[in-house]
């Protein structure tokens, strides 16, 4: 990261600036030290500092012509424009002019602009706009995020990674027009390699106290620190400056990039973890690598290696990370997707409550994700689920009902149809509807909360009242949606007892949600948890039964509302 504190130290006068003022060359020291950093300054405008970087054709600055480059004028408000040239007896010419077509330096004419400062004259009332090269941003696959004040990407873990930052330094300087733009050095190096360019930074560190400075007492002294760092410097009591050029060349070569892409394409450096698994091909349990070379296809029965679809088993908590972070992960019916780009094609849960999947699919995961699964790995306590056997081994459609999947599908249809008695729930909520799989009361409570939000809260009382009005059936204004649906059933000919019984599962769901995730006393909450375990054997089984009952009730409610 850029050392902003030290940048401020060379750019902002301290409380006692007596020794600071004559030492502008300290700014050059700072800029040179940043060559070892993992972040590079593209543009910096602070009280006593200006750094402006552009990309120049490598051939034009190899070797660099110091005198030519020191004459360069790089203006931050230089942008693309449609220019018109006339006179001199030649025909008029209208052409697209690049930002730096007349810099005063042959080497930098037509250099690639990276940062531009623009103002919408007489319209902008706030800060000067800072724009960056779209070619650079697109090539690196970056996207602007306001909350990061940066162009970002996703790293290998699916976390947001700021790459090109636009840093407002007003909190440091008190000046609204001052800004710092940086980029990760390796990303800039990759871009320079493929565009055959180098970064040329024009810098100016000028120190004086406004109002007390009159003129420079002597001309600047020319200095070099190697072929790629050269500048003019002068120092006198109360003032100094150092301005010049720093050229940064990529530490990568084209061959390096080719090798890097080949390794990634061929998974040459990929590592593979070992898992406790049931090798059903050889009727044994063993620790087996998930590497492709350690497994055989189902169509290679003569191979001594275990099958690719050898199952490994895990404690149920392995799925919690994905359920807890729906922004990064999408946990579907029997698969997991990460926004980092990887996926686990299939998993299921057996009768012993173990999550299981196959070694072949574990091998598709990044190594760090394999290690996460490995931490939950355990020996099998039961076989794979009946559903997994039907779909994965026999290649058949499963005949095992899944009420939660069917409820999600029904809610999706209602969201798309938008009847007046339904408030759309949205994809984000539907995607978080999952069975609890651990013994955690919190997981069970969250599952109940989401199920209630998806079903009960979806009913719009206003639309239900309109149906009762059409049937001239009386109701109380304070009645909730479930009571109104119950009355609608009665108005349609249901016996009162049948209507009450039909809505009871949804009423029980809403009651549990209000007590388990609401403000019920802890003693009552614990009693409800105890009752759920006692009646059903576990919180997981309680929720499965509740979902099954709610599916029937929801179907009856929707059928009644659709008929009215």
Tokens of residue 175, six digits? 């000046």
Tokens standing for residue 407: 């409820």
**Pseudo-torsion of CA 234, 235, 240, 241, nearest 10°?**
20
Residues 6+ apart with CB under 8 A from 342: 364, 365, 366, 369
Q: Can you say whether residue 179 is alpha, beta or left, with left for phi > 0 and alpha for psi between -120 and 50 degrees? A: beta
- Predicted confidence band at 262 (pLDDT cuts at 50, 70, 90)? confident
**Cβ 3 vs Cβ 212: under 8 Å:** no
- Classify 235 as helix, strand or coil: strand
Taking only the tens place, the pLDDT of each residue in 141-157 is 999 999 999 999 999 99
- pLDDT category at 76 given cuts 50, 70, 90 is confident
pLDDT at site 372: 98
Whether the per-residue pLDDT at 122 is higher than 80: the answer is no
Residue 342 CA neighbour count, 13 Å, CB half = 16
DSSP structure string for 488-518? HHHHTT--HHHHHHHHHHHHHHHHHHHIIII
Confidence grade of residue 398 (pLDDT, cut at 50, 70, 90): confident
pLDDT at 543 over 80: yes
Instruction: Give CA–CA dist 541/239, Å, rounded.
Output: 79
Asked if the model's pLDDT at residue 484 lies above 90, the reply is yes
pLDDT (average), residues 515-529 = 86
Spell out a b/e string for 47-64, using b for 16 or more CB atoms within 10 Å of the CB, else e.
bbbbbbbbbbbbebbeeb
CB atoms within 10 A of CB 513: 19
CB-CB contact of 151 with 144 (8 Å): yes
pLDDT at 516 over 70: yes
Q: Please determine, for residue 124, whether its predicted confidence score (pLDDT) is greater than 80.
A: no
How high is the mean pLDDT of the chain?
A: 93
For residue 56, give the nearest of 165, 180, 201, 164 by alpha carbon. 201
Over residues 12-22, the pLDDT tens digits come to 999 999 999 99
Nearest Cα residue to 247 out of 50, 56, 111, 68: 56
| 490 pLDDT above the threshold of 90 | yes
pTM (2 decimals)? Answer: 0.82
pLDDT over threshold 80, residue 85 = yes
Residue 564 is predicted with a pLDDT of: 65
Q: What is the mean pLDDT of residues 33-44?
A: 94
Q: What is the pLDDT of residue 121?
A: 76
Task: Tell me the percentage of the chain whose pLDDT exceeds 90.
Answer: 78
Tell me: pLDDT of 518 over 80.
no
What does the pLDDT average to over 108-121?
90
- Whether the pLDDT of residue 53 is over 80: the answer is yes
Angle at 65 between CA 59 and CA 66, to 5 degrees: 140
Average pLDDT over residues 477-498: 95
Q: Which of 71-80, 269-278, 304-313, 472-481 has the lowest mean pLDDT?
A: 71-80
- C-alpha torsion angle, residues 469, 475, 481, 486 (rounded to 10): -90
266-304: pLDDT as tens digits: 777 899 999 999 999 999 999 999 999 999 988 888 899
């Amino acid at each position: 990261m850029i050392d902003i504190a030290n940048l401020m130290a060379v750019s902002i006068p301290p409380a006692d600036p007596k020794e600071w003022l004559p030492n502008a060359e300290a700014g050059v020291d700072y800029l040179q030290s940043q060559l070892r950093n993992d972040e590079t300054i593209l543009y910096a405008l602070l009280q006593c500092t200006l750094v402006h970087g552009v990309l120049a054709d490598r051939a034009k600055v190899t070797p660099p012509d110091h005198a030519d480059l020191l004459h360069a004028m790089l203006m931050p408000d230089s942008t693309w424009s449609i220019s018109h040239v006339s006179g001199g007896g030649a025909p008029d010419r209208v052409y697209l002019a690049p930002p730096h077509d007349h810099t005063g330096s042959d080497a930098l004419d037509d250099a690639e602009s990276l940062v531009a400062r623009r103002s919408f004259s007489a319209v902008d009332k706030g800060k000067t706009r800072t724009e960056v090269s779209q070619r650079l941003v697109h090539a690196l696959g970056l996207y602007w995020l306001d909350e990061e004040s940066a162009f970002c990407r996703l790293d290998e873990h699916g976390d947001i990674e700021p790459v090109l930052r636009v840093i407002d330094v007003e909190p440091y300087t008190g000046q609204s027009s001052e800004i710092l733009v940086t980029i990760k050095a390796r990303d800039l190096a990759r871009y320079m390699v493929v565009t055959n360019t180098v970064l040329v930074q024009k810098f100016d560190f000028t120190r004086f106290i406004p109002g007390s400075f009159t003129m420079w007492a002597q001309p600047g002294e020319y200095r070099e620190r190697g072929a790629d760092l050269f500048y003019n410097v002068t120092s006198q009591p109360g003032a100094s400056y150092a301005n010049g050029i720093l050229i940064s060349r990529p530490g990568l070569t084209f061959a390096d990039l080719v090798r890097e892409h080949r390794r990634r394409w061929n998974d040459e450096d990929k590592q593979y973890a070992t898992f406790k698994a049931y090798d059903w091909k050889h009727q044994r349990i063993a620790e087996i690598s998930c590497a492709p070379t350690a497994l055989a296809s189902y169509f290679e029965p003569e191979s001594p290696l275990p099958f690719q679809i050898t199952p490994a088993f895990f404690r149920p908590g392995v799925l919690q990370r994905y359920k807890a972070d729906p922004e990064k992960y999408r946990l579907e019916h029997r698969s997991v997707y990460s926004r980092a780009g990887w996926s686990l094609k299939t998993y299921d849960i057996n009768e012993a409550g173990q999550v299981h999947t196959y070694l072949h699919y574990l091998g598709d995961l990044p190594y760090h994700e394999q290690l996460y699964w490995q931490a939950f790995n355990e020996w099998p306590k039961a076989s794979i689920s009946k559903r997994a056997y039907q779909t994965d081994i026999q290649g058949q459609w499963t005949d095992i009902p899944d009420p939660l999947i069917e409820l999600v599908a029904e809610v999706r249809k209602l969201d798309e149809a938008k009847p007046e008695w339904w408030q759309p729930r949205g994809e984000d909520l539907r995607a978080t509807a999952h069975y609890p799989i651990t013994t955690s009361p919190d997981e069970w409570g969250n599952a109940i909360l989401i199920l209630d939000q998806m079903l009960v809260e979806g009913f719009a009382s206003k639309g239900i009242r309109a149906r009762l009005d059409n049937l001239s059936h009386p109701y109380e204004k304070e009645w909730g949606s479930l009571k109104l649906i119950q009355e609608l059933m009665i108005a349609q000919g249901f016996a009162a007892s049948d209507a009450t019984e039909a809505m009871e599962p949804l009423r029980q769901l809403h009651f549990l949600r209000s007590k388990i995730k609401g403000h019920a006393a802890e003693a009552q909450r614990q009693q409800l948890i105890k009752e759920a375990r006692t009646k059903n054997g576990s919180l997981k089984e309680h929720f499965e039964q509740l979902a099954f009952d709610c599916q029937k009730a929801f179907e009856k409610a929707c059928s009644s509302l659709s008929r009215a």
